[in-house]
A = this chain, B = another copy of it.
């Protein structure tokens, strides 16, 4: 039954200054989210994507991408079940001929009822679309709430000379467990066997905790909102001790002598992580945890590099395929994926948000939850899906 609340009200009543975050089980509305890479949608191509619980059609028409709800106004069927595109900028419902224009959502005809008074007076939901850095972004929200894309991506991501490569996959956990896993300074413990260490120019500790001043909030009125955690101001722990004995140590490559001190991690609304100098010095990893529904998210993983020449581009593309994709996005982040998926059951009924037992360094995660609650532009509700 739809009247069952999206989030357990008992739990919502128990959290304090990050209530909005707990309520945002389906994500924050009125933000920009990447849904596909630009190269995945050729001219005239139609795809179905999911976003904050909504099914959308995206289509590229004369170069520009449009997004429309994939559900006919008439009887609620998915237009994509048998897409009838009789003209390049319309789609006609296979069931009774309701015809919509991609650019506006306008009901331009009902083929079998050409004189219906509905024609020209009804619209299907459409959303703004922008392309940047090789990604297709959709603004999932209300017309009067549209903000510039630059306010929903990490600082510098849109820089002109930045080349961005990546991949995406579906992860079976709520999007917030993705964001927290990525931003979490402690979870490096699960990466202690990563093959990526052979390709890095610095070493991993088994943990590190922020010293005062390491964490900084970014809340400028006209800009992205995020929490930055500077690893240079962390205390690293290299050895794990139980009952007085060292039982485990952070992996060190013989080829390198530095530490991870130069890396900074930050998380931004509506759920995107920036890891500087990662997976190696000179690169920056940007990754999105895009809410698909309550229990899955699209993990959009990208690596960016400033490039000056075509030779730079070719070198980066080669390194990406040979090293950073297999050892970073697949290998290193593969551990993150299963960690999120096994965390999901504890939070699925919402009680995890009050039953968890955070420790001191998790304060950075609490900062993120509070900031998201303050600046999220809207909370997607079940009623938004209807």
Q: Which residues of A contact B (CB under 8 A)?
A: 1-5, 8, 10, 71, 73-78, 81, 84, 86-87, 90, 92, 94-97, 99, 108-114, 116-118, 122, 184, 186-190, 206-209, 237, 240-243, 245, 247-248, 338-339, 342-343, 345-347, 349-352, 355-361, 386
Contact = CB atoms under 8 A, between A and B. Distances in A.
Closest 6 CB pairs of A and B: A112-B207, A76-B346, A111-B240, A86-B247, A73-B357, A96-B186
A207 B97 contact: yes
Query: Which of A5, A242, A355: most chain B CB closer than 10 A?
Result: A242
Given A97-B206, A113-B361, A10 B5 contact: no
19 contacts: A1-B349, A75-B346, A76-B346, A77-B346, A81-B342, A86-B240, A87-B245, A92-B242, A96-B186, A97-B240, A108-B243, A109-B242, A111-B189, A111-B206, A111-B207, A116-B359, A117-B360, A118-B357, A118-B359
A204 B207 CA distance: 68
A87 B242 contact: yes
A71 B346 contact: yes
A79 B122 CA distance: 54
A31 to B, nearest CB: 25
Contact of A242 (B4, B75, B90, B118): B90
Contacts of A110: 359
Contact of A113 (B71, B114, B207, B349): B207
Contact of A237 (B114, B245, B358): B114
Given A111-B240, A112-B361, A114-B241, 18 more contacts: A2-B351, A3-B10, A74-B358, A76-B343, A87-B242, A87-B243, A92-B242, A95-B187, A95-B339, A111-B206, A111-B207, A111-B241, A112-B188, A112-B189, A112-B207, A112-B237, A113-B359, A351-B386
Contacts of A5: 1
A60 B119 CA distance: 56
Contacts of A118: 357, 359
Nearest to A185: B112
A298 to B, nearest CB: 21
Nearest to A109: B242
A384 B95 CA distance: 35
B75 A386 contact: no
Given A1-B4, A187-B96, A237 B111 contact: yes
Contacts of A186: 96-97, 112-113
